[in-house]
């Protein structure tokens, strides 16, 4: 059993006792990518990638995984509640954000309420899961929201039951193809901001920060004054797995934040009805604004992050810039956020025109 760190130069995994990798790169604990390696009773190896977490989080994850593999029971004897308990323990050990853990637990508990928390996992089939999805759609939940349940179920299953085929993987995600659902064009983004400005100043300010930085929803909603460095024009927030992420601001956005009146709390925005921070992005006003701007009602706030990534790529043509600004740990993740606007293809065509310097 051990904690490993991934070499930033050659990606080789080394134990903590290894001060220097075989390639000559020195181990720096801060910002290192950690793995944990544990063996069960049958000497079967269990390896997990934790990513860029603190060493203390890595040690907690190692201890939690050790408990799981040394108290392992036969897969066929596991119940749905066993999977949920183990998965939620994993999320806590990895230092996932509170909101992510709460949402994941809620999704999984709703599934347990539908087919029984004591149901053995071997009896959970794609047909049963499809029935659950239909029940969600009958409650008028959007397909994007149903996909969140789907993703949580797959993550829970694959963490706990690696060797047994996942019944959720055999059912495809809905993922609507409507272009408005994934990201917004420049024109649509402008319409969204104009509509928000007419409806609500707070929502307008939140959307401005989101589009300017590509930050996730709760990082924006719970933005605190201490998170903003007005002198350096930058925002620093804690992202997934406890990673600190800093992104620069446009001068106009910095000035907008500076002019927001102090409400007596550490946060920029609070709910006027409770005086407390918003628990999520204001949904009713969000729906009104989307309708006014002519944007699909299923477009989610996370699409703002995709829109920001698309704009960054449109301006720079550099996926590394997308990765750094959005705080992704890999190019693979960033590539999923790249949407090239159709008018960008025209600009590219003009730049590579072989006749521009030939014909008069």
**pLDDT tens-digit profile, the chain (360 residues):** 577 878 777 778 877 777 788 777 777 766 677 777 776 655 666 677 777 777 777 777 777 666 665 555 555 678 898 888 888 877 776 666 677 788 899 999 999 999 999 998 888 999 999 999 999 999 988 887 888 899 999 988 887 776 678 888 888 887 654 444 478 888 899 999 999 999 999 999 999 999 988 898 888 999 999 999 999 899 998 876 667 888 898 899 999 999 999 999 999 999 988 888 898 899 899 999 999 999 988 788 888 988 888 888 888 878 888 888 888 777 777 776 676 555 666 666 666 556 566 655
230 and 188 in one domain?
yes
User: Domain end: 115, 140, 175, which one?
Assistant: 175
Strands (E), 29-180: 33-39, 45-52
356 within a domain of the structure (yes/no): no
Q: Considering only CA atoms, which of 216, 183, 191 is closest in space to residue 303?
A: 183
**Three-class secondary structure of residue 320 per DSSP:** helix
pLDDT for the residue numbered 85: 85
User: Domain end: 122, 154, 175, which one?
Assistant: 175
Task: With beta carbons less than 8 A apart as the criterion, state whether 322 and 309 touch.
Answer: yes
Range of the structural domain that residue 92 is part of: 73-175
Token pair for 57: 């989080």
Report residue 34: phi and psi, to 5°. -100, 150
142 and 128 in one domain?
yes
**Three-class secondary structure of residue 246 per DSSP:** strand
Give the number of domains in the chain: 3
315 and 185 in one domain?
yes
Tens digit of pLDDT for each residue in 118-140? 998 888 999 999 999 999 999 98
pLDDT for the residue numbered 179: 40
pLDDT for the residue numbered 19: 74
314 and 235 in one domain?
yes
Rounded Cα distance, 321 and 300, in Å: 24
Whole-Å CA distances, 97 to 51, 122, 213, 238, 241 = 14, 31, 19, 9, 7
Task: With beta carbons less than 8 A apart as the criterion, state whether 309 and 318 touch.
Answer: no
Query: What pTM does this model have?
Result: 0.59
The span from the first CA to the last CA of the chain, in angstroms, equals 72
Extract long-range pairs of 81-86: CB within 8 Å, 24+ residues apart: 81/112, 81/117, 81/118, 82/121, 82/160, 83/108, 83/121, 83/156, 83/157, 83/160, 83/161, 84/108, 84/109, 84/112, 84/117, 84/156, 86/159, 86/160
190 and 171 in one domain?
no
């Amino acid at each position: 059993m051990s904690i490993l760190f991934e070499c930033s130069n050659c990606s080789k995994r080394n134990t903590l006792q290894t001060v220097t990798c075989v390639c000559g790169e020195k181990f720096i604990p801060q910002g290192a990518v950690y793995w944990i390696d544990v063996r069960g009773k049958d000497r079967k190896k269990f390896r997990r990638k934790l990513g860029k977490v603190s060493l203390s989080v890595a040690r907690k994850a190692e201890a939690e995984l050790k408990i799981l593999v040394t108290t392992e029971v036969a897969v066929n004897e596991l119940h749905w509640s066993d999977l949920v308990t183990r998965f939620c323990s994993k999320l806590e050990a990895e230092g996932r954000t509170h909101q992510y853990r709460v949402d994941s637990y809620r999704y999984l508990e709703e599934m347990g309420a539908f087919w029984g928390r004591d149901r053995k996992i071997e009896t959970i089939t794609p047909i049963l899961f499809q029935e659950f999805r239909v029940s969600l759609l009958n409650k008028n939940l959007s397909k994007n929201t149903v996909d969140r349940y789907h993703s949580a179920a797959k993550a829970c299953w694959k963490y706990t039951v690696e060797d047994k085929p996942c019944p959720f993987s055999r059912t495809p995600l809905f993922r609507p193809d409507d272009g408005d659902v994934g990201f917004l064009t420049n024109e649509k983004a402008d319409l969204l901001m104009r509509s928000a400005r007419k409806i609500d100043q707070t929502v307008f300010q939140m959307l401005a920060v989101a589009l300017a930085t590509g930050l996730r929803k709760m990082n924006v909603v719970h933005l605190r004054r201490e998170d903003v460095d007005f002198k350096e024009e930058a925002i620093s927030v804690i992202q997934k797995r406890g990673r600190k992420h800093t992104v620069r601001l446009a001068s106009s956005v910095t000035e907008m934040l500076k002019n927001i009146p102090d409400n007596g709390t550490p946060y920029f925005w609070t709910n006027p009805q409770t005086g407390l921070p918003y628990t999520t992005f204001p949904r009713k006003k969000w729906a009104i604004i989307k309708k006014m701007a002519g944007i699909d009602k299923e477009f989610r706030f996370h699409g703002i992050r995709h829109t920001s990534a698309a704009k960054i790529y449109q301006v720079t043509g550099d996926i590394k810039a997308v990765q750094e600004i959005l705080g992704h740990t890999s190019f693979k993740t960033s590539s999923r956020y790249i949407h090239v606007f159709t008018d960008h293809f025209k600009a590219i065509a003009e730049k590579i025109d072989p006749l521009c310097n030939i014909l008069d």
